[in-house]
Amino acid sequence: MQRREESFIITKMRKYTPLERYKIRRKYKKYVIMKKEGKSDREIYLTAKSDGINALDRLEILRNICNLSFGDAKELILCTNSGAESLSEYQEKYVLPTLKEAFKIEAQEQKEDASNNKQNGQ
């Protein structure tokens, strides 16, 4: 049986207990205050980034202080870092061209393989 490759892309986030949420809110009190002052989630994220908070802790801030779902937090991060207005725009701008190029390369490789197999078969 072949072992599946591990992926570093997080697709699901576990739920936090009330105690964990409390500790996170105490740890990141500055961002709790910003949220209470009416700052946007994007402003909070950018402030945390400029403060040198690492990526996973910024995700934790978005999830627990801004009360975003994992998907919404992921979208905010991708759009903020890329300058895209929406996840759709991000995908059209960055993901789609990469996928098209990958499919193009794969088609060329398959064509070359078929040509090589034909020559070796003669």
Predicted local distance difference test score (pLDDT) of residue 121: 65
Q: How many domains does the chain have?
A: 2
DSSP result, 31-43: HHHHHHTT--HHH
Whether residues 61 and 116 share a domain: the answer is no
- The residue assigned the tokens 């599946």 is 4
pTM attached to this predicted model: 0.66
Predicted local distance difference test score (pLDDT) of residue 48: 96
Predicted local distance difference test score (pLDDT) of residue 1: 39
Whether residues 58 and 101 share a domain: the answer is no
Residue (of 69, 88, 70) closest to 79 by Cα position: 88
Q: Block means of pLDDT (10 residues each) for the chain, length 122 residues?
A: 40 71 89 95 96 92 92 91 86 88 90 80 60
Whether residues 62 and 18 share a domain: the answer is yes
Predicted local distance difference test score (pLDDT) of residue 95: 86
For residue 116, give both structure tokens: 């090589």
Whether residues 21 and 75 share a domain: the answer is yes
Contact present, 31 and 49 (Cβ < 8 Å) = no
Predicted local distance difference test score (pLDDT) of residue 10: 46
Whether residues 94 and 38 share a domain: the answer is no
Contact present, 35 and 65 (Cβ < 8 Å) = yes
Contact present, 40 and 26 (Cβ < 8 Å) = no
Whether residues 57 and 97 share a domain: the answer is no
Residues 6+ apart with CB under 8 A from 21: 64
Residue type, 68: L
Range of the domain at 51: 14-83
Whether residues 42 and 63 share a domain: the answer is yes
**Is 4 part of a structural domain of the chain?**
no
**Is 120 part of a structural domain of the chain?**
yes
Other beta carbons within 10 angstroms of residue 57's beta carbon come to: 15
Whether residues 67 and 105 share a domain: the answer is no
Whether residues 59 and 19 share a domain: the answer is yes
